[in-house]
Structure formats: C-alpha cells, structure tokens
Amino acid sequence: MTDGMTDDAELGRRRRLAAWRAAGRTLSRLSVEATLRERLTALAADAGAVHDLDETVDTYGDGVVEELERRVAALLGFPAAVFFPTGTMAQQVALRCWAGRTGNPVVALHPLAHPEVHERGALGTVSGLRTVHPTDAPRLPTADEVRGLDEPFGTLMLELPLRDAGFVLPAWNELEEVVEAARERDALVHFDGARLWECATHFGRELSEIAGLADSVYVSFYKSLGGLSGAALVGPESLAEEARAWRHRYGGTVFQQHPAALSALVGLERELPRLPSYVAHARVVAEALREGFGAASVPWFRVHPGVPHTHQFQMWLPWDDETLTEAALRQSEETGVTLFHRWYAPGPAGPAGVARTEVTVTAPGLEWSADDVKEEVGRFMEYVRRVAGEA
C-alpha cells in the first residue's frame, strides 16, 4: 500500500514537471523545472560577470562567500552579514543569539510564520525557545496587539511578507508603529525577510531603510532571486561573530559553497532590479484574473490580496484541490500554457470544497497582457468543469 502510494506520488510529480517544462507560456518558471545541466550551464555562463572566476575556490566561508556577505551587508545597511546554507538555520541562530542577550527565550511571532508552520517545532526542540502569538488574524500584528501581549517576550519576529496569509504586508507607518511598540517593551526586532527583496515597491522605501527598522534581518537567495540555495543573516558585527560560532555548532560552516554564493551574486545583479516590474505586473494579472473569473460565471472566487503587495498572491476557487490541479495540468499538457501550478486544500481549519494556489509573476509573465490572462482563465474553467463532471 505504501509503495503504491509512493509510486503514484512520484508519477504525479513527474507528470507535473513534464507538463510545466513543455509549456511554452507561463506566468513564472519554477526552479524545480530545470535540469541539472540547465542550471549548471546557466551558472557557468553568468558567474563570470559578477565575480573573478580565476580566484581560488572558497574554503569554510572565505573568498566568494565573504564577497557575497559584504555585498548583502552594504545593500541592507548593516555592518555585517553571515552566509548560511539555509534560512531555517539562519533564523534559529539569530533568535537564539538574541534570547541569550535579552535573557528572555520567548519569541513573539505570527502563528502562520515560517518557524511555526514549516520547521517541525525547531525553535523549541533545537534552540530551547518558546513562542507566543500577538494575533491569529491573517495579517501581521498591530502595534496595539504587540503592546497588549499578556507576557514578556525578548524578540518580536515579523515575516515580511507573511507568505501563508497571502504574501501580505502592513502599511509603512503600521510597520514603524509595530517596531516601536516592541521597543517600548524592551524587546529586540528580527525580520524574517526571506522575500524582503519584493517589499520595496509596496513600502515605497529602499531596502536599507526597510531593513534598518530591525535589529537583524534574514534574507533568502533562492526564493526571489533565483539562486541555487543559501541565506544571509545581517546585523551588528557582534551578532555576526556570535552567529558564526553557532553556525559552526549547527553544522552550517560548509567546506565549499561557491555555486550557491555565485548564483546569489547573479541574482542580486540580474533579478533584484527586475522585481519592481514583476510586482507592477502582478497587479495587472490579479485584476485580469478577477475579471476573467467573473466573466466565466464562477459562483465564488477570491484574489488575495485584492491588490498584490508583492509579485506573489493567492487565488481561491470553490472546487477541491485535486480537481483544480488536474484541470491546470490538462491545460498545460494540451495547450502548452501554464496558468496555474499546483492547488492546495485550505488546511484542517478551512472550509471544505475550496482550494487555493499561489500565483507568482516573474519574467515570463511580463509577456502576458490582461486579455491573455482573461482568455486563459476561460480556457482553464472549461477544463475545471470537464474534470468536475459539470460540462
């Protein structure tokens, strides 16, 4: 039974990848669509433009890794940055370091934040930290909610944007007020900025000004920038020194990391300047989706947020995830157009009979007009009704 389920899952994965790879048009290309040869060939072609490839390879974080750290620290306006193989490790270390300095192991964060949803309880299990939630509303906490939290906390962690709530962000003045509320409670502030790169358009601020509100910030190199892997933690030099010690203890001081570091430098050079155009076009796509589903007489749907805060947002429809995923796959396979990738159930607390997907607009999506989107929505709904037995 288990082997059969595993085989079915693998066949499904291969079918999806084949359909997405073969599609001539898509709003975004997922990194998992590429082959090893394609990724390595692209890196070899691009890396020489961002770093001297005649230098010797890195060893335990020197060379090109140090160059990446210097670049990120300067970009975000902090004295120092530390490269980590994963964002999970970077944030574990940051929050552990701050707990040691404040003497308070309690971290205030949203229940939909990455450490609560995607890290298997690592903050408590590995680092001995405890979490509390200023709010469970699908948005970041307000200043009043931070002030009203009924127990002390040493660090406030804010995920910018809050992905599982729909890639949502507060207004700039709201973010400033939340940070100030934490300071009033003698707490430090850490930003989960895995996707911080995408936030500048919404806030209308430079990255350094956004990051400068916090005591430390973690950024990812693959989620927005297309890198192979890796993350950085930025903060004061004293934090960086301590973070390097904990990185070693956690097993994150890797012998050689030049492929990840080079791909991160390429992402900073090539992809970062394009993100504002992706955000702007995501808003065009979101409005076109809304108009397209309205024209298709869908009984209920939701684009969330209505005006995307970043180049990623959620789409909700009143069918189950299997039906919608199958419809999306058939559209890819039979028309060569990928409008949506996978769909997901809303979770145990969500209503039955609805599903959501994440829409991301990157370079391929810039080629789509609003009319293109609406046309493909109509075609997608034909597949949905066919799969659901409604046609």
pLDDT tens-digit series, residues 325-365: 999 999 999 999 999 999 999 877 678 899 999 999 999 99
Q: Looking at the structure, do residues 221 and 351 belong to the same domain, yes or no? A: no
- Mean pLDDT for the chain? 96
Structure tokens at 232: 């950085």
Token readout for 118 is: 């995607």
Find the angle CA(60)-CA(101)-CA(121) to the nearest 5 degrees.
Answer: 70
Does residue 265 sit within a domain? no
Which 8-state DSSP code applies to residue 344?
Answer: B
Q: Are 146 and 134 in contact (CB under 8 A)?
A: yes
Cβ(168)–Cβ(135) below 8 Å: no
Considering the domain architecture, whether residues 33 and 78 belong to the same structural domain is answered as no
Rounded Cα gap, residues 337 and 383, in angstroms: 13
CB 109 within 8 A of CB 157: yes
| Same domain membership, residue 167 and residue 131 | yes
In a shared domain, residues 218 and 320: no
Task: Please choose, from the candidates 246, 255, 387, the residue with its C-alpha nearest in 3D space to the C-alpha of residue 329.
Answer: 387
Q: Are residues 305 and 157 in the same domain?
A: no
Residue 265 has pLDDT above 50, yes or no: yes
Is residue 84 pLDDT above 60, yes or no?
A: yes
- 45 belongs to a structural domain: no
Say if residue 120 is in the same domain as residue 244.
yes
For the ranges 3-12, 146-155, 366-375, the lowest mean pLDDT is seen at 3-12
**Main-chain phi, psi angles of 131, to 5 degrees:** -115, 150
What is the percentage of the chain residues whose pLDDT exceeds 70?
A: 98
In a domain, 47, yes or no: no
Phi, psi of 358 (to 5 degrees): -105, 125
Residue 268 lies in a domain: no
Same domain membership, residue 63 and residue 144: yes
Q: What is the pLDDT of residues 274-291, one digit of tens each?
A: 999 999 999 999 999 999
- Spatial neighbors of 153 by CB under 8 A, at least 6 apart, are 104, 106, 107, 108, 132, 185, 187
* Nearest partner of 68 among 242, 214, 267, judged by Cα: 267
**What was the pLDDT predicted at 1?**
47
For residue 262, being part of any structural domain is answered with no
Residue 4 has pLDDT above 70, yes or no: no
Query: Is the preceding omega at residue 305 within 30 degrees of 0, hence cis?
Result: yes
The residues, any chain, with a CB within 8 Å of residue 302's CB and separated by 6 or more, are 314, 315, 316
pLDDT for 352: 84
Report the 3 state secondary structure along 141-199. CCHHHHHHCCCCCCEEEEECCEHHHCCECCCHHHHHHHHHHHHHCCCEEEEEECCHHHC
Q: What is the dihedral of CA 271, 274, 275, 279, to 10 degrees?
A: -150
Are 91 and 201 in a shared domain?
A: yes
Query: What pLDDT sits at residue 146?
Result: 98
Please say whether the beta carbons of 331 and 380 come within 8 A. yes
Give per-residue pLDDT as tens, 163-218: 999 999 999 999 999 999 999 999 999 999 999 999 999 999 999 999 999 999 99
Kindly state the average pLDDT of the residues 49-78.
97
Q: Collect all residues with Cβ–Cβ distance below 8 Å to 139 and sequence separation of at least 6.
A: 162, 165, 168, 170
Residues 224 and 108 in one domain: yes
Encode 42-55: b = buried (16+ Cβ within 10 Å), e = exposed. ebeebbeebbeeee
Please report whether residue 176 resides in a domain. yes
- Give yes or no for a contact between 99 and 107, defined as CB atoms under 8 angstroms apart: yes
Whether 100 and 241 map to the same domain: the answer is yes
User: 198, 228, 255: which is the final residue of a domain?
Assistant: 255
Q: The domain that contains 121 carries what CATH number? A: 3.40.640.10
Q: Strand, helix or coil at 350?
A: coil
Q: Classify residue 264: in a domain, yes or no.
A: no
How would residue 391 be classed by pLDDT, with cut points 50, 70 and 90? low
Residue 275 CB contacts under 8 Å (≥ 6 apart), including other chains: 197, 198, 200, 201, 224, 311
- Of 255, 283, 308, the domain-final residue: 255
* Closest of 153, 158, 160 to residue 141, by C-alpha: 158
| Residue 369, number of CB atoms within 10 A of its CB | 11
Its domain, for residue 110, covers 58-255
Average pLDDT of the residues in 138-156: 97
Q: How many domains does the chain have?
A: 2
The CATH number linked to 373 is: 3.90.1150.10
**235 and 312 part of one domain:** no
